[in-house]
Amino acid sequence: MSEFDRIDDIVRELGRSATGVGVVLGPGDDAAILEIPPSHELVVSADTLIEGRHYPAGSDPELIAGRALGVSLSDLAAMGALPRFVTVSLGTETLEREWAVGFGRGLARRAREYDVAIVGGNIARGPQHIAVTVHGVVPAGTALCRSNARENDEVWVTGTIGHASIALDEPGLADLGFDDLEPGSSAMSYWNPPCRTAFGVSLREFATAAIDISDGLASDLAHIAAASRRRLSIDLETVPTSTELSAERAVVAGDDYELAFTAPPGANAAIRALAVRHDVPVTPIGRVDPGDGVAWSVGERAIEIDGGYRHF
């Protein structure tokens, strides 16, 4: 069987997930043709997941596909963008039909969950990796960026920090299938990142800056601080961390794919109302001050926290 047969297998699994609002021409040609609403801007992000580094070797293809799509959609959530279109490129040394069907099934499941269209991609022979490019839309001038945090803003996070990373220390992560994932488990958080896209879209009205937590809360807060040229003062005791990790370890663990964002104090009640509406846990963990970097404390005692995932 050729690569084109395997592509056909994947596209058949996608079904209606290969079409959607704005898709003029989807998979099957040299390129997709897409349209976005008038007076909107296109928000684009790309991620690559490599076997053995970003997920365990030999893992279930349905879980790999779902994780790859979730990781990328999280970037759109941080920008307040409504997800619309996705392209997926797969590198692999071998590609059996059963694996390809499972991979397509995983893409279709998450695409339906977030109402996005898989509009194209590519397959090539090589070490296994998945490259996903996501496209979202925002009304012109409304995207959330890292650079707009203001003095006296509150700093917030969604979800529980460090929870997904626990799965990496547990045996059998690569042996799981989708039906094995228990709601609320660390394995579910790892393989099925939360993708706070609907909440992120609603945040456009209130937040000043945002980022998705991929490399660890400590590392990603530092990006907001640097881009906004402000200091983020964080009380470690207020950070909602997993009870299975120390707080110091949780805030440097990666793979959360939650959101960290800043907003004026006057937006506190509105943000809590949004959280209830979208069923997203939110917690204020600090404030934006003059200065630079991230200042960590436990109560009144200053502490040093340095870490987070780095590729190089």
Nearest to 26 by CA among 135, 124, 100, 99: 135
pLDDT surpassing 80 at residue 76: yes
Number of domains composing the chain: 2
Question: Could you read off the pLDDT of 28-56 as tens digits, one per residue?
Answer: 888 999 999 999 999 999 999 999 999 99
Q: What's the average model confidence in pLDDT over 58-83?
A: 97
- Tokens of residue 134, six digits: 């996501």
Asked if 255 and 281 sit in the same domain, the reply is: yes
Asked if 231 and 129 sit in the same domain, the reply is: no
Q: What burial class does residue 214 get, using C-beta atoms within 10 Å of its C-beta: 0-12 exposed, 13-18 middle, 19+ buried? A: buried
Question: Could you read off the pLDDT of 78-110 as tens digits, one per residue?
Answer: 999 999 999 999 999 998 999 999 999 999 999
**CB-CB neighbours of 295 under 10 Å:** 18
What does the DSSP 8-state code read for residue 161?
B
Asked if 150 and 253 sit in the same domain, the reply is: yes
Phi, psi for 307 (deg, rounded to 5): 165, -165
Asked if 65 and 164 sit in the same domain, the reply is: no
Q: What burial class does residue 237 get, using C-beta atoms within 10 Å of its C-beta: 0-12 exposed, 13-18 middle, 19+ buried? A: exposed
Asked if 150 and 289 sit in the same domain, the reply is: yes
Look up the domain containing 257 and give its range: 146-303
Q: pLDDT value at position 4?
A: 67
For 8-43, give the DSSP string. Answer: HHHHHHHGGGG--TTEEE-BTBSS-EE---TTEEEE
Give the pLDDT band of residue 272 (cuts 50, 70, 90): very high
Answer for the pair 189, 163: CB distance below 8 angstroms, yes or no: yes
Residue 309 belongs to some domain of the structure: no
Question: d(Cα 128, Cα 94) in Å, to the nearest integer?
Answer: 9
CATH number at residue 105: 3.30.1330.10
Question: d(Cα 92, Cα 114) in Å, to the nearest integer?
Answer: 26
Domain boundary among 139, 160, 184: 139
pLDDT surpassing 80 at residue 10: no
Give the pLDDT band of residue 2 (cuts 50, 70, 90): low
Asked if 90 and 227 sit in the same domain, the reply is: no
Question: Could you read off the pLDDT of 117-168 as tens digits, one per residue?
Answer: 999 999 899 999 999 999 999 999 999 999 999 999 999 999 999 999 999 9
Q: pLDDT value at position 288?
A: 98
